[in-house]
Structure 1
Amino acid sequence: MVRILRDLANKYFSDEEAIVLFLILVVGTIFIIWFGAMLAPALASLIIAFILQGLVLRLKKMGVPDFVAVLGVFLMFLGVLVSFIFGLLPLVWTQVSNLARETPRIIRELQSYLEVLPDEYPQLVSAEAVDAIYQQVSAEVASFTQWLVSFSLSSIPDLVALLIYMVLVPILVFFFLKDRQVLVSSFARLLPSQRPMMISIWQEVNVQCANYVRGKAVEILIVGSVTYIAFKVLGMPYAALLALLVGLSVVIPYIGAAVVTIPVAVIGLFAFGWGSHFIWVMVVYGIIQALDGNVLVPVLFSEVNNLHPVAIIIAVLFFGGIWGLWGVFFAIPLATVLKAVFAAWPVKDTAQTPAMER
């Protein structure tokens, strides 16, 4: 066992830079797991600044001075943040509250739909199965309603924390953008002077992750906006809430669209019933999903190396289980980081060592 461990260490950790990188990855992961909740505003600000950095660099290439580019991008970010907080969130919360009040009616209509199934399809659906489904749905809806009431009663501490975040995050984003070179240089002094592997990994990660995160933010905005406009034109109730869900569903490839289709279909069914209006809603929703997958995604992510679907699903499950929603959103960038690390990791060829010694 000792000889096997020594051979593995000699093969994968013979380079000083590999040891330093391994320690950075381990310490960084432990630090985020233990202190991630405490430093959530700083981490969120760093991610937002990373997303906005590309726009700052593009303005600088057009001849805009650095501080003016940073200030302009920061003011744009503030405008989007204020519009989201005071425009979209109240509308979504109102629609969530209205949906909670409409839940009993939806449950009654669902029961009427389910009661017909055993008579029309006796070989496929039994009365016991319908009753079990109805009881399960009722229990889930009751728990959701209870959570909604308890959340509204205990939301004052959360609102105070939210107000603190609303102040801290913009300040940190501004300084991360303004002093990005100073911060990067300060961190680089802690690394070995000769670090070709780290530079290679950083260049790969910077290109791949930056393009992915910025492209995903643009995709969420476009898909959510188009869905909201389409649903409003079609008279779909809870258009803002459904558009937000559809926009966020693009974060999880393959899974998100399938999951969000259920609430879209259910609300459309209870709003319009079985008819041409419901069919038009689902057709338009399917067209939006098709255009997103076949047109928008190739345009936004043309420079991003595609991972295998199995690797994407495993990354979503793993990182989502560790870091929740943030882990789901950054599952693909984190998988790209691991891919870049494995590709650039120095491996010493030990196959010929015994022959050379002989």
Structure 2
Amino acid sequence: MFRILRGLAHKYFSDEEAVILFLLLLAGTAFIIWFGAMLAPAIASLIIAFILQGVVARLCRTGVPELLAVIGVFVVFLGILVGFIFGLLPLIWSQLSALAGEAPRIIRELQSYLSLLPQEYPHLISEEAVTAIYQQVSAEVGHLTQWLVSFSLSSIPDLVALLIYMVLVPILVFFFLKDRQVLVDSVARMLPPQRPMMVRIWHEVNLQCANYVRGKALEILIVGSVTYVGFKVLGMPYAALLSLLVGLSVVIPYIGAAVVTVPVAVIGLFAFGWGSHFIWVMVVYGVIQALDGNVLVPVLFSEVNNLHPVAIIVAVLFFGGIWGLWGVFFAIPLATMLKAVFAAWPVQEALQAPAEE
């Protein structure tokens, strides 16, 4: 056993830079797990600044002074944030509350639909199965309604913290943008002066993660906006809520679109019934998903290395289980970072076994 461990240590940790990088990754992961909730505003601000830095860099390349570019991008970000908080968020919350109020009527209509299934397809589904499905759906809707009420009551003490975050996050974003080079140089001074592997990994991760995160934010905005316009034109109820779900569904490849299709189809069915209007809703939704997967994604992520679907699903499950929604959103960048680390990791030749005399 000792010889095996010594061989692994020689193969993967004989380089001093590799040992330092391993310790940094280990310490960073432990720090985020233990102090991530406490430093959530700072982490969120850093991520937002990382997304906006690409726009600042492009403006600077066109000849705009850096400070002016930072101020312009920050003002646009602030406008979007204020519009979301005071415009879109109350609308989504009101539609979610209205949907919870409509839940009893939806359940009654669902029961009427389900009660016809054993008569039309007696060999495929029984009345006991229909009753079990109805009871499960009723229980889930009851839990959703109870959660909405408890969330409304429990969120009152958190309003002060929310107001603090609304002020704190924009301030941090501005200073992260303005003093980005100073902060990067401060971190670089704590690293070894000779770090070719770290530089190579940093350039690869910076390129891949920056393209992915910025592209994914733009994809959410485009898909959500187009879905909202399409649903609004078709008279789809709860258009803002559904468009938000459809926009966020692009965060989880392969799985998100399949999951969000269910509420879109259910609400469209109960709003319009089986008919041409319902078919048009699903056709528009299908066209949006097809254009997103076949046109928008290749354009936005042309410079991002594609990961195997199994690797993507495993990354979503693993990082989502650790960090929740943030882990789901950054599952692919984190998987890309691990891929870059493994690709650049120095591997020495195995130790030669001593010759037997």
TM-score by structure 1 length? 0.98
In structure 2, the residue matched to 1:344 is: 344
Q: Which residue of 2 is the match for residue 192 of structure 1? A: 192
SS for the counterpart of 2:122 is: coil
Which residue of structure 2 aligns with residue 230 of structure 1?
Answer: 230
The answer for the alignment partner of 1:281 in structure 2 is 281
Look up the match of 2:302.
302
Report the equivalent of 1:53.
Answer: 53
How much does 1:198 deviate?
A: 0.3
Match of 1:173 in 2: 173
Give the C-alpha shift of residue 153 in structure 1: 1.2
Amino acid in the other structure paired with 2:210: A
1:251 matched to 2:251? The reply is yes
Whichever residue aligns with residue 59 of structure 2, its letter is L
- Using the alignment, how far apart are the partners of 1:154 and 1:181 within structure 2? 41
Counting only pairs closer than 5 Å after superposition, residues 1-358 of structure 1 correspond to structure 2 as 1-350=1-350, 353-354=352-353
Alpha-carbon distance in structure 2 between the residues aligned to 1:109 and 1:338:
49
Partner Cα separation in structure 2 for residue 82 and residue 88 of structure 1: 9
What amino acid is the match of 2:291?
Answer: L
Output the amino acid matched with 2:307.
L
One-letter code of the match for 1:97?
Answer: S
Offset from partner CA, 1:104-135 (integer Å, 9 cap, x none): 00000000000011011000010000000000
> 1: CA distance between counterparts of 2:187 and 2:356?
41
Deviation at 1:213, TM superposition (A): 0.2
Deviations along 1:320-355, one digit per CA (max 9) or x if unpaired, are 00000000000000000000000000000126x459
Q: CA deviation at 1:356?
A: 11
Shift of 1:164: 1.1
Give the counterpart letter for 2:170 in structure 1. Answer: P
Query: For 2:102, what is the secondary structure of its paired residue?
Result: helix
Q: Deviations over 1:236-259 (max 9, x none)?
A: 000000000000000000000000
Alpha-carbon spacing, 1:218–1:357, altered in 2? closer, same or farther (3 Å): farther
**What is the CA distance between 1:357 and its match in structure 2?**
12
**CA positional deviation for 1:155:** 1.1
The letter of the residue matching 1:293 is G
Off by >3 Å, runs of 4+ in structure 1 = 353-358
CA displacement at 1:162 relative to structure 2: 1.2
Question: Per-residue CA shift, 1:289-341, capped at 9, x if unaligned?
Answer: 00000000000000000000000000000000000000000000000000000
Identity across aligned pairs (percent)? 82
How many matched pairs?
A: 357
State the Cα distance separating 1:30 from its structure 2 match: 0.3
Q: Structure 1 CA distance, aligned partners of 2:94 and 2:108?
A: 22
Equivalents in 1 of 2:310, 2:28: separation in Å? 26
Equivalent-residue separation in structure 1 for 2:332 and 2:153 (angstroms):
37
Q: Which runs of 5+ in 2 are unaligned?
A: none
Shift of 1:280: 0.3
C-alpha distance in structure 1 between counterparts of 2:348 and 2:353, whole Å:
13
**How far, CA to CA, are the matches of 1:120 and 1:75 in structure 2?**
60
Q: Structure 1 counterpart of 2:174, which letter? A: F
Structure 2 Cα separation of the partners of residues 154 and 14 of structure 1: 53
For 1:83, give the aligned amino acid. G
CA distance in 1, matches of 2:186, 2:194: 16
Deviations 1:258-287 (A, max 9, x none): 000000000000000000000000000000
- Partner SS, residue 157 of structure 1: coil
Q: Which SS does the other structure have where 1:200 is aligned?
A: helix
